[in-house]
Structure 1
Amino acid sequence: MSIPETNNSNELPSMEENYELSAQQKESYQKKGHIALRQVANKSEIASYEPVISHLVKELNNHDKPLEQRDTYGKAFIQISNLWEKSEAIRRFVLAKRFAKIAADLMGVDGVRIYHDQALFKEPHGGHTPWHQDQIYWPLDTDKTITMWMPLVPISQEVGSMTFASESHLMGYINKMVISDESHRTLAGYIEGKGFETMSHGAMEAGDATFHSGWTLHSAPGNPTDTMRKVMTVIYYADGIRVAEPDSKARESDLKSWFPGLQPGDLAATTLNPLVYSRSAN
């Protein structure tokens, strides 16, 4: 499918400039497993990229049932992956050095690669996102993974950021349950039993972002408003990580999709996983 560009990609902001993190912010992320950062992208940058991303999501959305006829996962969001492959403009956004350096700085690693990106658009009156760990899907045996979650439009308090279970990332791999009603019930009980503090970062402006570890338990409320909650995410992992033996169908599927041609033990690096930031190269 040919996706028309609404801007000349070379004229769009490059977002190469550094976003300075304090030692306190890095420490907070390491302790809690999540953090909110304000104006990671400025208003002008978001104004340039939001229409391009929204256009592509609309073109590629394959939901053909009304909300009330979908399952819990289908009600949670419109999910489109690897937009950077389909648009030169979005490639410029997803592979932005500024975002990648934040990911590397928070994890305390030399460099990061892209796992994949995802547009997660929660429709008006869309459902909640159940409790889950992202990394149960990823064939990577490491704690050096992180997701940037950036709204492309202002998000009100009633929609809010995701809700995180602080310090849950320190538990590592909790179970293999994919996003479902069952994962929501079971993991909510687990969170209560462990006494983890649950925390939302509340209202967010377009261009603000949360970053969370692949092991951090999180969920998201439904969208009670009449407007689309438009969010773009980018998943990073530390350069030098190797592919793990997939221990579930979800990880087998991700191995084929995101590490094509690789086997367990191989360096996790293909053309789909470009090195987007390296401290040693800068």
Structure 2
Amino acid sequence: MGPHVAPRVVVVASLATVRAAGTGGGRGKGGGGGGGGRGKATGGGTKGRGNRGGSAGGADGGTATKKKASGGSDVAKKKQSKQDKRDEQQPPQPPPQQQQTAVRDPPVNKKILEGKFDALVFDDSSKGTDVFAMDAPHVPANATTLEDRLFFERKGHACIRNVLTQDEARSMAVALIRETRTRTLLAYKHRVSVLCPPGAVDLNAIKTEEEAMAAIARYSDEEVGFLQTFNIHRDNYVSGESSESSESSNDSPAATPSNDGVEECAGYIMSRRLARIAAELLGADESEGDRVRLYQSCVFVKPPGFGETNWHSDANMVPLDTNRFVTLWLPLRPLQEDDAALVFASGSHRDFALPYWHTLEGMEDLESRGYDIESYEPLDLGDLTAHAGWCLHWSPPQPEDAPPRHALSVCYFLDGARRLTGTEGHLRQVPHEEDEWSYGDWLVDVKAGEVARHPALPVVYP
């Protein structure tokens, strides 16, 4: 971990395409209403649920590169392709899978608004791992500098270099990519469930990636901006089901992840070294008994030619009543300036959360808010970016001639946050559906208004 990193300014698509959140919204062709999802919308018009286009906010951190928002909808102007660096950009290649068996698809559009238990009794001690030694010579006493923390507070995002050594980062990348590949078809089905109207597609009937893309092309106007694989640190990765009940089925050709693979991934994702960075950015105070919980992990994949990820904020997808939420984003191969890294709207985390609770008035024209648009690439293995829960961020398309972009996203929140209550008059009355495959297996056990404590939301720091 080195000195504070400054961002760079970049030129991106208009912030007018940011989706201002709402309470519903169509997912497919002709979808309308006031949705709060992740699709495109210009001003307050039609809102789909597509590629994370659900909120506007921003922050910058580290030494970011500024990108001025243009008035059009053109995608970020990329610098010329660095073809001579493509070979070294290729992600670490895990060995091929030896065996694949089928799994059952996660439930879709489940009713999850009522808790099923009065109380949970479980071991709530810290589950943070030490797979990355906390006392390694290159790890300072504080994972972040004072300048990092002040910058993050002001801008809503930051970049921290050399969090992991090259060897540590490479080993993690191999394990995560290997495990993600066992769930590729499941990730495509998730995109179908998000982008297509409810009930339009039988997920069990989709047997190949090509069939999934064909369904999206038929029922949705949205581009596929990414593939998202949830929570590969959990053995019960099928949302809402335990590993014991997830019996094999011929309905889906996706591969069942190995217990060894999940355990290895969990060691990396639940690392106390990463969690300590989150704790410091959240302002957690160990002397006051503050603890940090893991909310979810995702591996995001952008294959060559996949479209942009629309402007959105993570907190809008989270069924928690809290502002103490942070996402760490780690590339799983080196990223150059023409790769699809994250781009941030600096300062948006400070003024964009309130409309999600009360009114969207004044939020239709986000360009007029004057956010600096910044990013941090190039990023090396072992670097990470961090952004606040309400910070608006975006990602450009992945170039056709580039390798796939893999990145690990790990989200944390300060212990004590409560589940959303669904208070009348609030726009966030019910959890957003897009990430239901992630939170569906704990939301049924935590009643509205209760403190979010659950085995699926483990304490990872201290």
Structure 2 counterpart SS, 1:93? helix
Deviation per CA, 1:174-226: give whole Å up to 9, x if none: 656xxxxxxxxx98x64311111111112111221110011000100110033
Which residue identity is paired with 2:414? A
Q: Report the Cα offset of residue 104 of structure 1.
A: 0.7
Q: What is the correspondence of 1:1-282 to structure 2 with a 5 Å cutoff?
A: 14-17=131-134, 18-19=139-140, 20-62=143-185, 63=188, 64-65=209-210, 70=217, 75-86=224-235, 87-109=262-284, 110-173=290-353, 190-224=365-399, 225-246=401-422, 247-250=429-432, 253=436, 256-278=440-462
Q: In 2 relative to 1, CA 72–249 (structure 1 residues): closer, same or farther, beyond 3 Å?
A: farther
Query: 1 or 2, which has the higher helix percentage?
Result: 1
CA distance in 1: counterparts of 2:341 and 2:439, whole angstroms: 29
Q: In 2 relative to 1, CA 249–227 (structure 1 residues): closer, same or farther, beyond 3 Å?
A: same
Structure 2 counterpart SS, 1:30? helix
Aligned residues of 1:259 and 1:272 also touching (Cα < 8 A): no
Q: In 2 relative to 1, CA 191–152 (structure 1 residues): closer, same or farther, beyond 3 Å?
A: same
CA distance in 1: counterparts of 2:269 and 2:294, whole angstroms: 9
Aligned residues of 2:419 and 2:447 also touching (Cα < 8 A): yes
Gaps of 5+ in 1: 6-11, 177-185
Larger radius of gyration: 2
Q: Report the Cα offset of residue 52 of structure 1.
A: 1.4
Q: Report the Cα offset of residue 47 of structure 1.
A: 1.8
Which residue identity is paired with 1:39? N
Which residue identity is paired with 2:274? F
What TM-score does the superposition give when structure 1 sets the normalisation length?
0.84
Match of 2:90 in 1: none
CA distance in 1: counterparts of 2:443 and 2:395, whole angstroms: 28
CA distance in 2: counterparts of 1:158 and 1:208, whole angstroms: 17
Q: In 2 relative to 1, CA 199–30 (structure 1 residues): closer, same or farther, beyond 3 Å?
A: same
Aligned residues of 1:166 and 1:198 also touching (Cα < 8 A): yes
CA distance in 2: counterparts of 1:31 and 1:277, whole angstroms: 24
**109-118 vs 248-257, which moves further:** 248-257
Structure 1 counterpart SS, 2:448? coil
- How many residues in Structure 1 have an aligned counterpart in Structure 2? 260
Q: Report the Cα offset of residue 161 of structure 1.
A: 2.4
Q: Report the Cα offset of residue 105 of structure 1.
A: 0.2
Q: Report the Cα offset of residue 74 of structure 1.
A: 6.1
Aligned residues of 1:165 and 1:199 also touching (Cα < 8 A): yes
**218-227 vs 142-151, which moves further:** 218-227
CA distance in 2: counterparts of 1:214 and 1:4, whole angstroms: 39
CA distance in 2: counterparts of 1:207 and 1:93, whole angstroms: 12
Q: Report the Cα offset of residue 72 of structure 1.
A: 7.0
Structure 1 counterpart SS, 2:294? strand
Structure 2 counterpart SS, 1:85? coil
Deviation per CA, 1:2-40: give whole Å up to 9, x if none: x889xxxxxx97114255311111000000000011121
CA distance in 2: counterparts of 1:59 and 1:255, whole angstroms: 21
Aligned residues of 1:72 and 1:127 also touching (Cα < 8 A): no
Q: In 2 relative to 1, CA 4–16 (structure 1 residues): closer, same or farther, beyond 3 Å?
A: farther
Percent identity, aligned pairs only, is 26
Which residue identity is paired with 1:37? I
Structure 2 counterpart SS, 1:118? strand
Which residue identity is paired with 2:432? A
Structure 1 counterpart SS, 2:339? coil
Structure 1 counterpart SS, 2:305? coil
CA distance in 2: counterparts of 1:215 and 1:141, whole angstroms: 12
Aligned residues of 2:420 and 2:431 also touching (Cα < 8 A): no
Structure 1 counterpart SS, 2:450? coil
What TM-score does the superposition give when structure 2 sets the normalisation length?
0.52
CA distance in 2: counterparts of 1:134 and 1:24, whole angstroms: 24
Aligned residues of 1:39 and 1:208 also touching (Cα < 8 A): yes
Structure 2 counterpart SS, 1:84? coil
Q: CA RMSD in A?
A: 2.6
CA distance in 2: counterparts of 1:101 and 1:59, whole angstroms: 30
Query: 1 or 2, which has the higher strand percentage?
Result: 1
Structure 1 counterpart SS, 2:180? helix
Q: In 2 relative to 1, CA 258–153 (structure 1 residues): closer, same or farther, beyond 3 Å?
A: farther
